Structure 1
Amino acid sequence: MGGVSGSNWIIQSGSNGAGADPAVGGQGDPYLSVLGGGTANFLFAGLSQLGLDYGSADWYNSFVLTLSNGATRTFTGQDVINSPPANGDQGASRTNGRLTFTAEAGTSITGLALSSSSNSLEVDNFGVVAAVPEPSTWAMMLVGFGGVGFSMRRRKVTYRLAQAA
């Protein structure tokens, strides 16, 4: 996972006017807080899964995934908790939890943009799973390994010429 870019985000711990530690996972460790009007962007080499703890989900928070095929998928805080309405409660289990995104077959997750149009969206404890090669890639690797094995097993044949006496 690359570094974070964007604007109006901070790394902090504890709870204050700029955010609250997500009420799940290992509390007390540093977490990222995207402040009002801010965006935090992450780039990845290609993931099949991306997980994170989120806090204070609200309708104005968004998670935008970028996929290897160029498509994007956007989820708001309201999409994440579904029902009842997202209200950003800092301690409620319905607005704080673990979120896992899984790439569709044939694609991988290459980016994540977190944004909040008001104060704030908190995330912590990222977990990633690297993309698994496609079946055709596995087949090519197996053929390659087989070829290497065959060439290593092949014996050199040496012919001796009979010397005339």
Structure 2
Amino acid sequence: MKVWKAISAVCLLVSTLPANAVTYTVGPIDSGPIDVTSSFNPGYTLIDFNDGTSPFTGGAVISGTTTGQYVAPAGDTTPYFSVGPSTSSPASLALSAINQLSFYWGSIDTYNTISFDGLSQSFSGAIFGGTDSDVSRPSRQVTFYFSPAESAALTGISLSSSSNAFELDNLIFGSAAPEPATWAMMIFGFGAAGVAMRRRRKPATRVSYVV
């Protein structure tokens, strides 16, 4: 019974992996950047832009708000990253072999777009509650998840904005590998499945009785 439970768990794990489309979660409208490091492995990479530098090609690290150019994400009093006509657009960052990516998306606009290079997938700010109204632009924590196939194909991300601006802070990404116990269960489950299949293919032994 334990063997079949393990096999069932493995099958369930495989069946629930995302397929053909990057999945995501959207947090509530926030009043400031939140700590999401607990949802990532210790080996994650966090970019908070506080030192004034950025790993992106394009865009710029700025502070505060300049009317008609960029608006600081709600509650954000530290430097942040901006992409738009006033800071150059698009901005790109090479990334690969990750299965999670998250950031605090400030004053989301419908004309903000994030694209995943290598996957031919893009998402506009409209999907995450973006609006072009100056008084109601939300700021939210947005997290994207990549299946193993998507992680292998991903080559980077591109941020663009046809108007000012795409603002974000606290970019974090990494790979949440299964715990050792989970790996053990998966290996045991696949091994048990193989044994069961071999036994099923073995022909039955016929016994003849001489009367």
| Corresponding residue of 1:12 | 62
In structure 2, the CA distance between the partners of 1:87 and 1:125, relative to structure 1 (3 Å rule), is: same
| Corresponding residue of 2:100 | 49
Cα separation, 2, equivalents of 1:38 and 1:88: 21
1:75 aligns with 2:123: yes
Amino acid at match of 1:114: L
Root mean square deviation, CA, Å: 2.6
Report sequence identity in percent: 32
Higher share in strand: 1
In structure 2, the CA distance between the partners of 1:88 and 1:34, relative to structure 1 (3 Å rule), is: farther
Amino acid at match of 2:83: V
Cα separation, 1, equivalents of 2:133 and 2:83: 13
Amino acid at match of 2:113: S
Deviations 1:57-78 (A, max 9, x none): 1221101013xxx322100011
- 8 A Cα contact 2:73 2:168, kept in partner: yes
Cα separation, 2, equivalents of 1:76 and 1:125: 19
What pairs with 1:122-133 in structure 2 (closer than 5 Å)? 122-130=167-175, 132=177
Cα separation, 1, equivalents of 2:143 and 2:176: 14
Residue segments in structure 2 that go unaligned for 5+ positions in a row: 1-44, 46-53, 188-211
Residue segments in structure 1 that go unaligned for 5+ positions in a row: 143-165
In the TM superposition, residue 88 of structure 1 has moved relative to its aligned partner by 5.2
Amino acid at match of 1:15: T
Amino acid at match of 2:62: Q
| Corresponding residue of 2:51 | none
| Correspondent of 1:99 among 142, 159, 180 | 142
1:58 aligns with 2:109: yes
In structure 2, the CA distance between the partners of 1:122 and 1:46, relative to structure 1 (3 Å rule), is: same
- 8 A Cα contact 1:62 1:116, kept in partner: yes
| Corresponding residue of 1:35 | 84
- 4+ long deviations beyond 6 Å: none
Aligned length: 124
Cα separation, 2, equivalents of 1:46 and 1:89: 37
In the TM superposition, residue 121 of structure 1 has moved relative to its aligned partner by 0.9
Cα separation, 2, equivalents of 1:107 and 1:38: 25
